[in-house]
Structure 1
């Protein structure tokens, strides 16, 4: 067996070492989620909740694999996001943001952890209220939960991505809700959070994906977002975007000193995984990130919203699934 063949085999899910790294990452991110959910109370600052999740993941992964010869990368695979009511996703504000949670809010939390590039992501929707959840809030939560269960059962060898898309849309319709357009469930690979094989939850004119069949030993992050609105999210304010990922295949000679400084810091600290601008020096980041994005050096994760209205509520659930093992995450 050649060195390349041996390395490929070591990275396969049939390797107990790889499975252990996935399961450890999943255990950490689940505990981080529990900590954030526990603190989701009226008047809690959203930025504090996001930082709590990220800090826990950094602390827990930082104590692992300290005594191995080969350096093992580990830490946050996707920054903690806390998106409220009609905000669909990716809200992870800067330290200066003063927004807080209120009684009655529907809060969507998502985050990711990795060990040696093997990624576990999780998402959960939490209602801030006493007593039973009723009305449209109950509908959208039940739709997301049921759709996620159905999707996880369909992500199996021999099934196709279209099978999942069709099934979850039928589930949402049964609750008089919509699957939010453009949400993708990606295949996960080592150091790759957005693999090419995807499940498109609900199509729109701007998003097309290839038909694919699920195969044994693949890993997917199954991402479900349901809505009581029309399921058509929009970017309302570019300044809300704080999460980015380095586009490793792009190069450009930046003109501004602030841009070069920030891009150098990003390349050193976050060469592959998505990161929050909160981890950078805020004033310099505001200046430098714009030029980096404009020249495609960074991929932004925009904060998307549905129109506030009669039922401006979304629910978000995510499951982490391998095609020959499943862990309850």
Structure 2
């Protein structure tokens, strides 16, 4: 894995272009307003079709296409002179155990293109960029029974995960804002009162404590990371990012807790539940050179002038037995009658190949002409995208379906030549510890899973136990699918303007009506309450400026036309 930024371009791309000036902040703001408006639009479509019963429920493919078209139309409405501006994260609707990547095309069959059921947990994930300055957003909602008033709140483990992820996201937003006014940082968070800084370790400890309070675990790939121009994590695992800065959760963090729940002998062996002795190497772990700071560590400080993406995923913990919560790629696999098909791709600009098929060459040419380094779908390169509400919508949809079917003939060659990298549809699974301890000796470096690349330094999911990615794959058959709640917010920290929340926020998107039997306990309850109080009074606390929605009176008529 090679770094894709040469040393001579470092100053220009990573420093000069990332100064949070007024012009740059304006681009971030508009990207935030677009994501806020698009999320509100998609929620309104879901409410109209699933909750209010105004028409037949939209399928996931219809909602994704309408959302993408709506978002691209808004993007085109401003900054006319900016050439590179587009969708940074296609609209995905990840249902229940699906974590990322579910965004079917209209051409997909019924087993791939789902409609939602009452009680489903649906995470709406989307993002856009203006001149490379990105705003990403994810929000989890509950599909309630149709009618104006739900009979009651959602109960059970799903609600625990929703509350934990939402509370963690909101708390981290306030923590980041404290980096601009370090005197407001609660003393209980600081080990050294004279060194008032928000560090990666503080962020990890707060999120872990909130998860523990609600009997949840932080799902792997959760992160709080700095984003920069054209660097928003869209190609993580494909290329290594120079000077990476962020907190990342992986299976490695769960391994520490699992080992605590095992019985150790004096010889460094584990006594499993079946009374079998399994030897582990206590010195085994990550020891990797990090010359370009591409490997995530918690040893960093939040600074003014930076922009951060908060991506928190929570899953409820199985009370009956210990185990690992990991992610399974559903590439072409069947899940309860659901066929998973990749629909989101990334153009690897470092690769160049001579293609044989005419359809492949045409597809590559359109992608290179119209798409950036961000993920895309085949429908984006159709000449009928985005949809024109003033034209014949049915005719446009038919053209998009026809174009996508043609593009699929050239897609495989582009993937096989590694010009395109498919974004996996990931599902969260719980694997019991007793099954993990039965796994034979590790396959070493040959056990890395090249089909599912990860961030540098995290190739081994369980380094102490010696479990590689390929060995972990063999355990998925023992796994149980687990619901996941996810919230993503983007926050800009400006010395001049203050904390600007580009996406999410209480003013526009309140959480779904849920009830949990858990509550914050101990020191973390005091910390969260103190941070929450800081945002209540701008005079004595912290002001967090939230991006509003745009006026959409002349945009987004496609849904009504589609229904007709």
Normalised to the residue count of structure 1, the TM-score between the two structures is 0.87
Q: Which has the larger displacement, 141-150 or 188-197?
A: 188-197
For residues 68-95 of structure 1, the C-alpha deviation after alignment (integer angstroms, 9 at most, x for no partner) is xx44432311111101011111111111
1:164 aligned to which of 185, 193, 203: 203
- 1:152 maps onto 2:239 in alignment: no
Q: 2:159 aligns with which of 114, 130, 138?
A: 138
Deviations, residues 27-72 of structure 1 (Å, cap 9, x unaligned):
1110100111122254321111111221121111212123xxx444
Helix, strand or coil at the partner of 2:70? helix
Structure 2 residue 25 is the aligned partner of structure 1 residue 19? yes
Matches within 5 A, 1:273-292: 273-280=374-381, 281-292=403-414
Farther off after superposition, 181-190 or 118-127: 181-190
Residue 174 of structure 1, CA deviation: 1.4
Higher relative contact order (CA 8 A, sep 6+): 2
Partner of 1:49: 63
Report the CA distance between 1:303 and its aligned residue: 0.5
1:314 CA drift (Å): 1.0
One of 292, 301, 304 as aligned partner of 2:426: 304
Judge which range, 281-290 or 201-210, deviates more.
201-210
Partner of 2:540: none
Aligned partners of 2:16 and 2:208: how far apart in 1?
37
| Residue 182 of structure 1: aligned partner | 221
Structure 1 unaligned residues grouped into runs of 5+: none
Report if the CA contact (8 A) 1:242-1:278 is conserved.
Answer: no
Which piece of structure 1 moves more, 294-303 or 204-213? 204-213
1:223 is aligned to 2:311 = yes
> Does the Cα contact within 8 Å between 1:110 and 1:123 map onto a contact in 2?
yes
Is the alpha carbon distance of 1:160 and 1:255 closer, same or farther for their aligned partners in structure 2, counting shifts above 3 Å? farther
TM-aligned CA deviation for residue 8 of structure 1: 6.0
Distance (Å, rounded) in 2 between the aligned partners of 1:127 and 1:220:
27
For residue 310 of structure 1, report the CA deviation from its aligned partner. 7.5
Q: Give the structure-2-normalised TM-score.
A: 0.52
RMSD: 2.8
Cα distance per residue 1:8-39 (max 9 Å; x no partner): 657511x1111111111111110100111122
Alpha-carbon displacement from aligned partner over 1:138-167 (angstroms, at most 9, x marks no partner): 111101111112332344654333432332
Secondary structure in structure 1 of the residue aligned to 2:93: strand
Q: 1:100 aligns with which of 108, 112, 115?
A: 115
- Counterparts in 2 of 1:29-108, with a 5 A limit? 29-40=35-46, 41-42=49-50, 43-66=57-80, 70-97=81-108, 98-108=113-123
Q: Secondary structure at the match of 1:51?
A: helix
Deviation, 1:96, is: 2.0
Q: Deviations over 1:173-206 (max 9, x none)?
A: 2111111113344422222222633321334499
Displacement of 1:299: 3.0
Q: CA deviation at 1:127?
A: 0.1
CA distance in 1, matches of 2:331, 2:374: 24
**SS state at 1:285 partner:** helix
* Contact in 2 for aligned 1:121/1:221 (Cα 8 Å): yes
Counterpart for residue 326 of structure 1:
500
Q: Give distance in 1, aligned partners of 2:414 and 2:100.
A: 22
Contact persistence 2:84–2:372 (CA under 8 A): no
2:350 partner SS: coil
The aligned length equals 321
Following TM superposition, by how much is the alpha carbon of 1:320 offset from its aligned partner in structure 2, in angstroms?
A: 0.6
Shift of 1:107: 0.3
Provide Cα deviations, 1:81-118, integer angstroms capped at 9, x if missing partner.
Answer: 10101111111111123321111111000100222221
Alpha-carbon distance change, 85 to 218 in structure 1, aligned in 2, over 3 angstroms: same
Superimposed CA distance per residue, residues 277-301 of structure 1 (whole angstroms, 9 cap, x where no aligned partner): 3335323333333332333322322
CA–CA distance in structure 2, aligned partners of residues 185 and 310 of structure 1: 27
Q: Distance in 2 between matches of 1:285 and 1:146?
A: 42
Contact 1:262-1:284 at 8 Å conserved across structures: no
1:290 & 1:37 partners in 2: Cα distance? 34
Larger Rg, first or second structure (1 or 2)? 2
Aligned to 2:291: none
- Distance in 2 of aligned mates of 1:258 and 1:184: 38
Q: Distance in 1 between matches of 2:101 and 2:200?
A: 24
Q: Where does the alignment leave 5 or more consecutive residues of structure 2 unmatched?
A: 1-10, 51-56, 145-149, 180-196, 234-240, 256-284, 287-294, 318-323, 333-339, 382-402, 431-478, 505-564
1:86 touches 1:312 (CA, 8 Å); kept in 2? yes
**Equivalence for 1:209:** 296
Match of 1:233 among 324, 327, 330: 327
